[in-house]
Amino acid sequence: MLDCQLALMENAIARYTATGEIPRPLGTRHPSATPFEAFATSDGHLIVAAGNDALFAKLCVVLGLAEVAADPHFASNSLRTANVAALRPLIAGAMALHPSAHWMEALATAGVPSAPINTVADAIAQPQAQARTMLVEVPLANGQMARVAGNPMKISGFADPASRRPAPGLDQHRATVLADFAPGVQKTENTGG
């Protein structure tokens, strides 16, 4: 898990090793592409990824902020990043005027990458999450079924069933595990709880 978390920090690690500066928390904002962060809409939040000049110009048109795209303070990505404190409120003010669905449609039509910030319920209900078996059922000792996250590692040729075996009971496999580490110990399963 540590490896995965470090790999996700590729930008922060590269910035630290190149400059010696320890990156600070930025919320949802990307450290070097602006605007590339979450904005509140009238009914939720969207991530907007307009981190190059062409996408920024399209975003400004969609938001009714064409004059902002022409402002020399925001003429390049590096200038937008340096002046994010002035830019963010302009975008946030426009985004707050309409619901997420309105902006999703308008931004998609303009070719500006964006996505809603999903609740857990929204995330597991997505067709892709279901198609990838990312929610599986596991029987509990009381006979009920628990729904838990599936395995994200998919390997062709290996089944990825929508249900899993129950977790073993306390000491259920003790003898087998001990036998694996201590040759000569009888390999029998404890069927008791």
How far does Cα 146 stand from its chain's mean position? Answer: 24
Are 139 and 166 contacting, i.e. CB atoms less than 8 angstroms apart?
yes
Residue 150 φ then ψ, to 5°: -80, 180
Residue where the block lists tokens 């994200």 = 152
* Within a domain: 5: no
Same domain, 34 and 89: yes
Q: Are residues 98 and 142 both part of a single domain?
A: no
Residue 141 lies in a domain: yes
Q: How many domains does the chain have?
A: 2
Note whether 163 and 108 are same-domain residues: no
Note whether residue 91 is domain-resident: yes
pLDDT at 45: 95
Q: Distance between CA 19 and CA 39 in Å, rounded? A: 29
Question: 74 and 54, same structural domain?
Answer: yes
Name the domain boundary from 65, 100, 117: 117
* pTM exceeds cut of 0.85: no
Domain boundary among 83, 117, 151: 117
Regarding whether 129 and 113 lie in a shared domain, the answer is no
% of the chain with per-residue pLDDT over 90: 64
7 occurs within a structural domain: no
> For residues 47 and 28, is the Cβ–Cβ distance under 8 A?
yes
Q: What is the pLDDT of residue 193?
A: 46
The residue count of the chain comes to 193
Domain extent for 48: 26-117
Q: Out of 30, 45, 98, 102, pick the active-site residue.
A: 30
pLDDT tens string 98-123: 999 999 999 999 999 999 999 999 99
| Signed CA dihedral, 43, 55, 10, 87: sign only | negative
30 in active site? yes
Residue 1 pLDDT > 70, yes or no? yes
- 148 and 168 assigned to the same domain: yes
